[in-house]
């Protein structure tokens, strides 16, 4: 990437079909009325739409997004610690109006690559010349016994920032001092690799100042994690990590740390090979993840369930 300018990158992006990684197609010929459609208004989709218009204003760009507001996942863990409010990470799409991007607030349901159309939730069809697919992640609800989308409204994952972030924050506020929070980190790969460990840090920060007798148990389906040395160094300095009085305890997979089930009535996780049960005052279950359904259905993933990425582009 060091030899590729931003404008060159955007010009390539404007002439490719992509889905969290690019699939090679002939470039768009320069000229008016060429239509690029972007599915998904998160960071990836919104930035792609903006920079294509900046690179070539003659390209007609349409962004399909089901929500009129976007809550950033980055910085959402600071809402849990009380360092930020949920409104501070809430953004509309008005800032993109100056780039003359077309908006369709709906859910994209199906892609027809032959007819070059997208079917929306209401049955409408949108035509494209080139398409960028950036719809975010999907959760593997069948991977953790007893946990599903309905249960997640009470035992939140908060891995898509918004209402569940608020729910989890409220549960932390209502928890008694001396209580326990269990966070379950899913097996790799998943969105935002440092995220569960940032979350443990932010919750411990809240506890240190407001509920100093409380503790975070981080059950992990992995044996190592992103930026582990930096996190443990910070935990040792701030939260007594590695001592009997640590506010954070990390339980890796080889120490029975993989969560395999949830007992909703007991507010407990079931973890490890022997399926031992661990109750807590607050549970935060982050499910295993894969690419979004529309990406899977369109054949844009490999056997891993994720989109292959060309690191050069």
**What does the pLDDT look like over 147-178, one tens digit per residue?**
999 999 999 999 999 999 999 999 999 999 99
Task: Say yes or no: 188 and 117 in one domain.
Answer: no
Residues 213-235: what's their mean pLDDT? 98
CATH code of the domain covering residue 11: 3.50.50.60
On whether both 37 and 159 belong to a single domain, the answer is: no
* Interval 113-118 mean pLDDT: 97
* pLDDT beyond 90 at 232: yes
**Overall average pLDDT of the 101-107 stretch:** 97
Do 14 and 27 share a domain, yes or no?
yes
- pLDDT on residue 286: 98
Asked if residue 25 lies in contact with residue 1, where contact means CB atoms within 8 angstroms, the answer is no
| pLDDT at residue 208 tops 70 | yes
Encoding tokens for residue 242?
């590695």
Share of the chain above pLDDT 70, in %: 90
Higher pLDDT, 13 or 33: 33
In the chain, the number of structural domains is 2
164 domain residue, yes or no: yes
Task: For residues 127 and 149, state if they share a domain.
Answer: no
145 in the same domain as 127: no
Looking at the structure, do residues 114 and 146 belong to the same domain, yes or no? no
Write the pLDDT tens digit of every residue in 52-93. 999 999 999 999 999 999 999 999 999 999 999 999 999 999
Domain span including residue 266? 139-290
The reported pLDDT for the residue numbered 309 is 86
* Domain annotation covers residue 94: no
pLDDT at 4 over 70: no
Q: Is residue 59 one of the residues assigned to a domain? A: yes
Q: Are residue 31 and residue 154 in the same domain, yes or no?
A: no
pLDDT above 50 for 20: no
Full DSSP string of the chain: -TTS-HHHHHHHHHTSEEESSEE--PPPPSSTT-EEEEE--SHHHHHHHHHHHHH-TTSEEEEE-S-SEEE-STTTHHHHHTSS-GGGGEEESGGGGGGT-EEE-S-EEEEETTTTEEEETTS-EEE-SEEEE---EEE-GGGSBT--TTGGGTS----SSSHHHHHHHHHHHHSPTT-EEEEEEPSSS-SSTTHHHHHHHHHHHHHHHH-TT-EEEEEESSSS-TTHHHHHHHHHHHH-TTSTT-SEEEE-GGGT--EEEEETTTTEEEETTTTEEEE-SEEEE---EEE-HHHHHTT---TTSS----TT-
Q: Is the pLDDT of residue 201 over 70?
A: yes
In a domain, 306, yes or no: no
Domain membership flag for residue 310:
no
Q: Is 178 left (phi over 0), alpha (psi -120 to 50) or beta?
A: left
pLDDT for 313 equals: 81
120 and 233 share one domain: no
pLDDT at 21: 37
Whole-model pTM: value is: 0.88
Q: Are 168 and 286 found together in one domain?
A: yes
Q: Are residues 49 and 145 in the same domain?
A: no
pLDDT digits (tens, 9 = 90+) for 24-57: 333 444 545 799 999 999 999 999 999 999 999 9
Mean residue pLDDT of the chain comes to 91
């Amino acid at each position: 990437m060091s030899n590729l300018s931003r404008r060159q990158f955007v010009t390539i992006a404007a002439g490719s079909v992509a889905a969290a990684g690019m699939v090679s197609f002939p470039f768009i010929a320069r000229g008016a009325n060429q239509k690029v459609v972007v599915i998904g208004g998160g960071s990836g989709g919104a930035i792609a739409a903006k920079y294509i218009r900046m690179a070539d204003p003659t390209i007609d760009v349409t962004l399909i997004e089901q929500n009129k507001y976007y809550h950033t996942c980055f910085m959402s863990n600071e809402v849990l610690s009380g360092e930020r409010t949920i409104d501070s990470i809430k953004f509309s799409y008005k800032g993109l109006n100056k780039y003359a991007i077309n908006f369709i607030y709906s859910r994209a349901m199906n892609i027809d690559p032959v007819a070059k159309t997208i079917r929306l939730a209401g049955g409408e069809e949108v035509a494209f010349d080139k398409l960028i697919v950036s719809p975010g992640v999907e959760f593997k609800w069948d991977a953790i016994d007893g946990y599903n989308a309905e249960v997640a409204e009470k035992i939140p994952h908060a891995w898509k920032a918004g209402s569940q972030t608020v729910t989890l924050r409220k549960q932390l506020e209502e928890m008694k001092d001396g209580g326990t929070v269990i966070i379950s980190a899913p097996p790799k790969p998943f969105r935002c690799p440092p995220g569960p460990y940032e979350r443990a840090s932010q919750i411990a920060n809240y506890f240190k100042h407001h509920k100093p007798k409380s503790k975070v148990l981080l059950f992990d389906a992995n044996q190592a994690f992103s930026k582990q040395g930096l996190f443990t160094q910070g935990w040792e300095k701030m939260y007594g990590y590695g001592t009997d009085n640590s506010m954070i305890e990390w339980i890796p997979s080889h120490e029975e740390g993989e969560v395999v089930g949830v007992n909703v009535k007991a507010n407990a996780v079931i973890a490890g090979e022997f399926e031992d049960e661990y109750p807590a005052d607050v549970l935060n279950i982050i499910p295993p993840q894969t690419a979004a359904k529309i990406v899977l259905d369109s054949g844009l993933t490999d056997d891993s369930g994720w989109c292959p990425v060309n690191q050069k582009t």
